[in-house]
Amino acid sequence: MKKFWFQSLVITVFVFFMLWGANAVTDLKIFTAFDTIGQSMKDFELTDYAFSKLRPDPIPEQRIILVNIGVLKRRELAMELLMINQYKPRVVGMDELIDCEGGLRDSINCPQLLDTLGNLMLSNAIREAGNVVLGVRLLQTDSLAQFDIDVYDSIEYSDPIFNDFAKQGFVSLPTGATYQEDVKLCRSIFPKINVNGKDELAFSVQIAMQYDSVKTKRFLARNKPEEIINFRGNIEVRQLRLKSLKNDETATTNFGTMFYVVDVDQILRGEVLPELFKDNIVIMGYLGDYLGDPAWEDKFFTPLNKKVAGRANPDMFGPVLHANVVAMILNEDYVDEIPDWGKIVVAFLVCLLTVALFIWIDQNLPQWFDALSVIIQLVELLLISVLIIQAFAWWNLKLDLSIAIGVSALVGPAYDIFKSVQNEINRRLTKRREKVLTP
């Protein structure tokens, strides 16, 4: 029995060595040009299937209202904010950086400065509201950017006449995009980031803090540098008239309506229900030039995308993404993960038990070994995949069992290679003994 388990342990170590070698080869991108399937699937995770297929349509989150600002100028944005403030919302988040791009403060490069009255109107509207959270952008100097790490040493704020009367939260997200127009895939957020010795809160976390500080502090107490977003829904892709919330939805999406949304013209014409805003959270931001606009600006790919692999079109605007995070915090509906050591332990046990089963079959049912080993591997891969999907759908638990999947796929070939080498070594040792014993 000791010999049996020692052999199982040695082969298990060999499987992990092969997995490490395979990972090193793929990191070198030697076969990238030939791996068209892998390229199309690289952004896919099994949990995406649970997000987009297995979860029921969400119950609308009535505490969060989205307001489209379209392409409003600053004086129009001020009028919209003043009208919203009349309805007494508790918090207003503006997913907008109100400054001159590139810091060029002249009327040619920053024509917004020409509308002096409009700027004063917007500044006054923010000051009078007293409950506005403005978005800011995290920046890296060239010396940091070259290392491709999520460390930031400066912040781009809105102009002081706006920023001085509001709270701030960074809108930067971990998307893998290298520039603004690049394809942006978002699964998670950084709840807070230390910039020059001070902790800065994410835009969505700052909004939640102003609405319910107790729950938000509990969220931050999880002390995770990166949190998976527990996406629950989107907005209707076409306009939703709020005169009758029950009967006036003019379109349906794959995921149902999670957040009520008001378009630009509805606010300015007063076509809204005042009770919709009272004591609630309002997130103002770009949702297209009009609701239903297929624009890609400030739009992200998320796990809710109807195409779980090989995605063609982004599915969620930035303000909706932030709303999902706020809803997750207020509902305390988080996604948990197993620690890194847990992933390794699970993979090691799966590999060890599989190898032990292979050895037993090889010793007792050698004629069935090839067929049974393939069947066992396929069943293992299927069970692990189902476990990952169902654990996420049922318990909001993300089981990153990629190492277990890797060793399950390699255990068959690794066992055959190990046995071939072992048999060849035994053959040569036997032949050498025979030569020594032959007179």
Encode pLDDT of 194-245 as tens digits. Answer: 998 899 999 999 999 999 999 999 999 999 999 999 998 888 644 444 433 4
Q: Is 72 helix (H, G, I), strand (E, B) or coil?
A: coil
How many CA atoms lie within 13 Å of 57's alpha carbon, on the beta-carbon side?
10
pLDDT score at 365: 94
Spatial separation of the C-alpha atoms in residues 302 and 286, rounded to whole Å:
17
**Is the pLDDT score of 121 beyond 60?**
yes
Q: Which two tokens stand for residue 306?
A: 């109807």
- The residue behind tokens 């998320």 is 302
Spatial separation of the C-alpha atoms in residues 103 and 113, rounded to whole Å:
12
Spatial separation of the C-alpha atoms in residues 116 and 91, rounded to whole Å:
27
Domain locations in the chain as residue ranges: 9-42+337-437, 57-334
Task: Report how far Cα 249 is from the mean position of its chain's Cα atoms.
Answer: 28
pLDDT score at 311: 63
Q: How confident is the model at residue 22 (pLDDT cuts 50, 70, 90)?
A: confident
More confident residue, 368 or 103: 368
- Give percent of the chain with pLDDT exceeding 70: 85
- Sorted by sequence, the CB contacts under 8 Å of residue 87 that are 6+ apart come out as 272, 274, 276, 277, 278
pLDDT score at 146: 61
Give the single-character DSSP code of 335: P
Contact 57, 320 (CB under 8 A): no
Contact 232, 327 (CB under 8 A): yes
- Sorted by sequence, the CB contacts under 8 Å of residue 211 that are 6+ apart come out as 63, 90, 91, 281, 326, 330
Residues in the chain, how many? 439
Spatial separation of the C-alpha atoms in residues 99 and 137, rounded to whole Å:
11
pLDDT score at 238: 43
Angle at 296 between CA 293 and CA 302, to 5 degrees: 105
Tens digit of pLDDT for each residue in 327-376?
999 999 999 999 999 999 999 999 999 999 999 999 999 999 999 999 99
Angle at 167 between CA 277 and CA 87, to 5 degrees: 15
Give one word for 39, left, alpha or beta, with left for phi > 0 and alpha for psi -120 to 50.
alpha
Tens digit of pLDDT for each residue in 401-424?
999 999 999 999 999 999 998 888
Which residue, 313, 278, 282, is CA-closest to 299? 313
How many CA atoms lie within 13 Å of 224's alpha carbon, on the beta-carbon side?
16
Spatial separation of the C-alpha atoms in residues 185 and 321, rounded to whole Å:
11
- The residue behind tokens 């995949």 is 385
The listed range with the strongest mean pLDDT (48-52, 60-64, 244-248, 265-269) is 60-64
Spatial separation of the C-alpha atoms in residues 337 and 226, rounded to whole Å:
11
Contact 202, 189 (CB under 8 A): yes
Q: How confident is the model at residue 145 (pLDDT cuts 50, 70, 90)?
A: low
Which residue, 406, 307, 422, is CA-closest to 49? 307
Spatial separation of the C-alpha atoms in residues 237 and 257, rounded to whole Å:
9
Q: How confident is the model at residue 34 (pLDDT cuts 50, 70, 90)?
A: very low
pLDDT score at 70: 92
**Is the pLDDT score of 253 beyond 50?**
no
- Sorted by sequence, the CB contacts under 8 Å of residue 21 that are 6+ apart come out as none
- The residue behind tokens 């067929």 is 371
Pairing of strands 64-68, 132-139: unpaired
What stretch of H or E contains 265? helix 264-268
pLDDT score at 143: 66
Task: Give the CA-trace dihedral at 219, 224, 229, 230, to 10 degrees.
Answer: -60
Q: Is 98 exposed, middle or buried (0-12, 13-18, 19+ CB in 10 A)?
A: buried
Distances (CA, A) of 151 to 30, 138, 142, 293: 30, 9, 12, 34
Spatial separation of the C-alpha atoms in residues 330 and 216, rounded to whole Å:
7
Q: Which two tokens stand for residue 241?
A: 């008239």
Q: Is 198 helix (H, G, I), strand (E, B) or coil?
A: strand
Q: How confident is the model at residue 425 (pLDDT cuts 50, 70, 90)?
A: confident
How many CA atoms lie within 13 Å of 412's alpha carbon, on the beta-carbon side?
16
- The residue behind tokens 């919709």 is 276
Q: What are phi and psi of 83, to 5 degrees?
A: -70, -40
Spatial separation of the C-alpha atoms in residues 279 and 407, rounded to whole Å:
53
